[in-house]
Structures are given as C-alpha cells and as structure tokens.
C-alpha cells in the first residue's frame, strides 16, 4: 500500500470521554476493510509505566504478551481488533524523558543544550513512527492521553503539529470533544467544543474530524454550526452518543461514514463499506439475551475500571452463553463470616479478583470458604487463586496459620511464597513474572475441558508463587494442580474436581478475551454458573 498513514486521536473539554473506544472503533472499521492496523497510546504522566499506579488513579494495569505493564486502553484495542499489542504500543512521558536523558548521559548529543523542542519532541516523533516503519502497518492510530490544554500534553501536540506538517495527507487528526446538555436551559451547548478546537489551533493543529460525545441526539443544525465555527467539513462532524454497550460504537461510526471520511481525506480509495458480519452477530446475540446470570465479583477496589478486562470477559462470555451478565461488586473488606451468606447466596457464580497486598484479603478467604462449602462455581484469578490455596490449607489441611509470604513474612505454612531466584531483586517492578508463559494442562481436568488442548500460553503479573513443597498434600486432600509451567515446574492452575466448577489460575485469562474470541475459561465458568 506504500507509506504508512498516521491518525492522531486527541481529546478536549474533559477526560474519560472514551478516546480509547473511538480509536478502537476507527481501527476496527479500517481493519474490516482489509488494512493492517495497529493502535498505540501515549500517556502524558511521568511514571515509566502504570505498573506502580494505584488502580484508583488509572484503572487496571493491562499486561501485553511481551510482559509490558500498560494502560487499560490497550485492552480495548486488543478486544476490538483481536490483535496483540506490545511494549511499543504504550509510551509514557517518563519513558520519553528517560530515553533522552540516557542518551545525554552517554554523550550522544555532544554538548548540545537538551530542550523540549527539538529533543523531547523528536523522541516522541520517533516513537510515533516506530511501529509503522518496523512492522509495515497501513495505519497507525495514536491516541494521546489527557486533555488538550493540559500542561503535560504540550510536547505531544507539538510533535503532532510537526508530523502533520511533514507528512501532509498521510497524517490526520481526529479530535474528540463533549457537547454538554444544560438541563435548566434545555439545550445542548457547543461552546466547550469551540474552545477546545481553538486550544488545538493555538498550538498549530487544525483537527480534520470532530467526534462529539453526547448523551442527547445532536441535530443537523448543531453539527453544521460546529463545522462552521471549527473549520471542519460538515461530513467530518460525527456524533458519539451513549450506547448500551461500547461494542455498538463501531457500527454507529460506520453509519455516519467516519471510516469513509478518513479514507477520502487521506486520498485513498473508498470502496464498499465492510459488512462486519461476525461483529453484528455478536451484538444481535447480546441484544436477544433475556435471561440473566448473576456473578459476584469479590475485590477491594470500588471502581469498575480497576477490573475492566474481567468485566468485559464476563460480559462477552455471557453473550456467547445467551445470557445477560448481572455483575455485583462485593467489597472484600466488608465480607465477614456473619454476612457472607446473605451476600453470596443469590450468586450463580463468584470471581475472586486479583490484587496486591494485605487489604481485603481476609474477606476473600471468607468468600472462598463459603463458595467451596456451598458448591458455587468459583473462579480465582492470580491473587484470587492464591487465596483459594490459602483458604484450603487453613480449612481443609488444618494449617490455621497458613498464608502467603506476601501477607505474613513469618508464616510457618507459606503455601504461597516468593521464588529463590527472585529474592535478590530489589527493584519494585523487577521481581515480577510478567507477560506470556507456557502452561501444560492435565487431560482429566475442567481446565482441559475448557481449552480442549494441552499446551497454552497465558499472561502473568505477579511476584509470589504456589509453594511446591505442599503440592503432594494438596493433591491428596482434593485440590489438584492441573496446570504446570514446563520450564520452571511452577503451578499455573488449581482446581477441586469434586466440585461443580472451582478453578484458580495464577495467570490472568481476562487479558486475552476478545469480542470475537471470548476466553475458554470464562465461557466454561459462565456455563457452569448458568447450570447451577
């Protein structure tokens, strides 16, 4: 196809308008037309990656196959496009500066004064183009985190200005803004959008396409007005209204010809609009589902973004089981022996969430004891799986003081521990098992029934492991280690075969569940929950 085309997605007025969903939708529509597409996210914060951020600050930390801790929008990119992203798809200001400072220390700049322009902006531009030049993509979509006007996103906007100037028709800016509805005046207001576009223009960028986020239908006149005041073609002003599901967004964008407008503006053949048949089938199935499956999510963060990938995996798998997912969040800090029955008895299935640290852990043990003794389908993920083994050690093996070395340094029964080779590492992120690892599954297990294969690869993000010294005792008492890493012999999957569905995974299956390929373990778990 020749040169790679670059699409920049910026946001104005407010954050959290859904730039990631719009970027993913544009990517989906271009991919459906047969183009090779990738999406990257530039985050203007100074952390090297979001791995050390509290989920309350930035939602969940997503992990790529190559072991990079990334922004949660990369999860949307993968779920929508069915592609695998890597470290190169998520850059932070911290990484940009670190790279420039490392070069300066090595003497690469030979006595030059290092400045934001050109040195930081050159490094940003190099990163924007890296994926395109290395992997022969037709389109690289770059989402810029934050909001236009933020002090920290200026270097990114300056880099986009330069790239648009250098690349001409091969670069395009899609700007996402918000059109608020003033209830008292009963009208929609375009002024914030006009201000946001002026802000962009003041740094030398004229947006090519405007996507207007709104909770109310926008009239043709209003869109005309925005086009006129913001120097944008009328057909390049698109509305993005709240939808019952984010997966409807690509279809709404296609209805308004967003992909067509992009192709025309970039001087490319338009051709037939793609039919998106599997995607539409998924949505039809979702809309048709009448019956509900009730899933309890036991975790410590009262924030939906903290468990984004898990929520999406449940919702996708429910659709493929012809159910609507009714997900109830249960704060593990508030779960006690006294209230657990009242909280859990109505659940068809329970997921015990991942996490780090001591907070809320006792509530997870309480929940697991209840679901284990009442045979409720239960799925423990990462720390959730570790809690399964600790609860089992305490209440079945009789080691009342069993624990993870993470929670109690001095526990005499360390059924979860840190591996010898990791003890020497002191860097906060350095001791983690991150990214995709192999796992071999025993044939006579629920896990094998779900995957229908012996060899799998799944993504990890944790520091502590199942202590193999206890393996024999666990197995003799009814908890089987059915998934093992072939290189290190570490336990990846545990289950209690005598129960309906009681499975724990040391890895995070939610990272690889997509709209068109839901994860087999989630499918199997939801199926068990339905037939409870």
How far does Cα 475 stand from its chain's mean position? Answer: 34
From 359, 384, 356, 355, select the one nearest 372 (Cα to Cα). 384
Q: How far apart are the first and last CA of the chain?
A: 53
| Residue 232 in tokens | 């944008």
Residue 167: half-sphere exposure toward Cβ, Cα within 13 Å: 22
Exposure string (b/e) for 449-486, b if CB count within 10 Å is 16 or more?
A: ebbeeeebebbbbbbbbbbeebbeebeeeebbbbbbbe
Catalytic annotation, residues: 382, 508, 510
| Residue 500 in tokens | 């309906």
Instruction: Looking at 345-500, list the stretches that DSSP marks H as alpha helix, in order from N- to C-terminal side.
Output: 361-373, 383-395, 446-451, 471-476
Count H helices and E strands in the chain, helices first: 18, 23
Residues 26 and 7: beta-carbon distance below 8 Å: yes
Sequential DSSP letters for 169-214: GGEEEEEEEE--EETTTTEE--HHHHHHHHHHHHTT---SEEEEEE
Specify whether the backbone of 144 is left (phi greater than 0), alpha (psi in -120 to 50) or beta: beta
Q: For the chain, give the number of residues.
A: 532
| Helix/strand/coil for 320 | helix
Instruction: Looking at 428-487, list the stretches that DSSP marks H as alpha helix, in order from N- to C-terminal side.
Output: 446-451, 471-476
What is the rounded distance in angstroms from the CA atom of residue 415 to the CA atom of residue 89? Answer: 37
Residues 6 or more apart whose Cβ sits within 8 Å of residue 439: 455, 456, 457, 458, 483, 484, 485, 486, 492, 493, 507
Backbone angles phi, psi at 374, to 5 degrees: -110, 10
């Amino acid at each position: 196809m020749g040169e790679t085309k670059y699409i920049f997605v910026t946001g104005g007025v407010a954050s959290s308008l859904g730039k990631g969903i719009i970027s993913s939708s544009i990517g989906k529509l271009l991919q459906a037309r047969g183009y090779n597409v990738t999406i990257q996210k530039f985050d203007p914060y100074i952390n090297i990656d979001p791995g050390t951020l509290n989920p309350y600050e930035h939602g969940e930390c997503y992990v790529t196959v190559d072991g990079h801790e990334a922004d949660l929008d990369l999860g949307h990119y993968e779920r929508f496009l069915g592609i695998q992203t890597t470290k190169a798809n998520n850059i932070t200001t911290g990484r940009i500066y670190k790279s420039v400072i490392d070069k300066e220390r090595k003497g690469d700049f030979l006595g030059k004064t290092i400045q934001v322009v050109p040195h930081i902006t050159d490094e940003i531009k190099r990163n924007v183009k890296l994926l395109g030049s290395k992997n022969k993509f037709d389109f690289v979509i770059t989402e810029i985190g934050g909001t236009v006007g933020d002090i920290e996103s200026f270097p990114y906007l300056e880099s986009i200005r330069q790239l648009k100037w250098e690349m001409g028709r091969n670069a395009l800016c899609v700007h996402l803004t918000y059109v608020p509805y003033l209830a008292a005046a009963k009208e929609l207001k375009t002024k914030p959008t006009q201000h946001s576009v002026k802000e962009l223009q003041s740094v030398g960028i004229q947006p090519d396409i405007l996507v207007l986020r709104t909770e109310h239908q926008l009239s043709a006149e209003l869109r005309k007005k925005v086009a006129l005041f913001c120097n944008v073609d009328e057909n390049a002003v698109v509305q993005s209204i709240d939808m019952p599901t984010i997966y409807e967004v690509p279809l709404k964008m296609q209805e308004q010809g967003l992909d067509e407008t992009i192709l025309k503006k970039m001087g490319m053949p338009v051709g037939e609009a793609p039919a998106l048949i599997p995607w539409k089938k998924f949505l039809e199935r979702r809309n048709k589902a009448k019956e509900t499956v009730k899933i309890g999510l036991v975790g410590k963060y009262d924030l939906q973004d903290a468990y984004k990938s898990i929520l999406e995996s449940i919702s996708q798998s429910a659709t493929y089981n012809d159910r609507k997912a009714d997900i109830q969040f249960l704060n593990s800090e508030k779960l006690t022996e006294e209230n657990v029955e009242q909280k859990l008895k109505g659940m068809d299935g329970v997921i015990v969430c991942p996490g780090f640290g001591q907070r809320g852990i006792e509530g997870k043990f309480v929940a697991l004891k209840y679901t284990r003794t009442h045979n409720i389908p239960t799925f423990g993920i990462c720390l959730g799986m570790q809690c399964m083994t600790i609860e089992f050690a305490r209440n079945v093996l009789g080691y009342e003081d069993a624990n993870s070395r993470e929670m109690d340094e001095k526990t005499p029964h360390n059924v979860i521990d840190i591996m010898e080779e990791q003890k020497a590492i002191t860097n906060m992120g350095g001791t983690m098992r991150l990214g995709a690892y192999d796992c071999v599954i025993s044939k006579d297990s629920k896990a094998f029934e779900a995957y229908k294969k012996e060899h799998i690869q799944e993504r990890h993000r944790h520091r502590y492991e199942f202590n193999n010294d206890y393996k024999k005792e666990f197995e003799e008492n009814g908890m089987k280690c059915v998934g093992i890493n072939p290189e290190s012999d570490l336990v990846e999957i545990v289950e209690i075969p005598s129960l309906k569905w009681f499975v724990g995974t040391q890895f995070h299956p939610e990272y690889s569940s997509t709209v068109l390929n839901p994860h087999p373990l989630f499918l199997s778990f939801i199926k068990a929950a339905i037939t409870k």
